[in-house]
Amino acid sequence: MNNNFNVSEFIRNLDLNCSKVQKKNFHKGEVITNYITKRNQLCILLSGEADLVRYDFNGNKTIVEHFSSNDIFGEIFYTVTTNNELFVEARANCIVLFFIYDDIKVKCKNNCDFHNKLLINFPELFLNEIIDLNMRIELLSKRTIREKLLSYFKIISTRNMSKSFKIPFSLTDLADYLSIDRSAMMRELKSLKEEGVIEKSGNRITLLVV
């Protein structure tokens, strides 16, 4: 990992200088993109929050990933081999950069030097996405609802460097994200609170036992 690489600065310069980048605004609830058509599209979330969601044949929703500022997403990360449809939906008002992966090796009309930088810094740009995918695998590998909840809480606590934090989901969406039954999750949260493992106030969680 290159500690001197500033992701925010690089993305800002890419937005300002590269003619192959498109910037679009989305309102809360709008679909930003889908993974149905293979365009080798790379998206960078400049501001706001969004979720990658999957709907199965029965219309059941699963939150696959959650994105915040500077996160990268797009169908280049997923090979869709089923009829389940993947959509990225705006959880709040968003500004998104769109870039075609195949254009990375093609000089734009401004002959910008950011394409070379993009190739060099790909590992840095993709690092958070890789970490999030690994976290998702780790969470889904847990066998019980309690294990999934506590593992998720510890991850968010570490990211925020605080034992008290606000989860970025409603409780319904948290259940979807962890692929667990909401009613069973609420019972487990109640048990964790009664046992003195956590404190809970709305979406704010405080870990009392680590």
pLDDT digits (tens, 9 = 90+) for 137-191: 888 888 899 999 999 999 889 888 899 999 888 888 899 889 899 999 999 999 9
Say yes or no to pLDDT of 82 above 60. Answer: no
Which of 119, 126, 123 lies closest to 102 in space, CA to CA?
119
Split at pLDDT 50, 70, 90, the class of 1 is very low
Q: How far apart are CA 18 and CA 110, in angstroms?
A: 7
